[in-house]
Amino acid sequence: MSTIRSIRTFATSVFFLQLAILQMFIPNLLLACPTCKNGLHDNGTAAAYAISILFMMGMPFVILSCWVTTIIRLRARMDDVAMTDLDC
């Protein structure tokens, strides 16, 4: 079980490392559209609007990741309890 966790942790780390490298070297490709990119530099209203859109897009992923993390932890806890019950 720990081998699977270490593989998942490694895969997650590699994914986020690749995403960070993309952000550093080709940030223009990661921006939404040319209109938004130009609007971010003109005034603060466009920047605030862009940030609110990013916040709204990120919330479902945060909520889903919290649910998945909770379920995984509960299942691991249930497996540990089941293993200790078998040892008695």
Number of domains observed in the structure of the chain: 2
Average per-residue pLDDT for the chain? 78
CA distance 70 to 36: 36
Q: Give yes or no: residues 16 and 40 share one domain.
A: no
- Residue 64: which domain range? 31-88
pLDDT at 21 exceeding the cut of 90 = no
pLDDT at 83 exceeding the cut of 90 = no
pTM above 0.75, yes or no: no
Give CB contacts under 8 A, 24+ apart, made by 78-85: 79/1
The 10s digit of each residue's pLDDT in 28-66 is: 666 656 666 666 666 667 677 778 888 888 899 999 999
Q: Give yes or no: residues 26 and 38 share one domain.
A: no
User: What pLDDT, on the 0 to 100 scale, is given for residue 69?
Assistant: 92
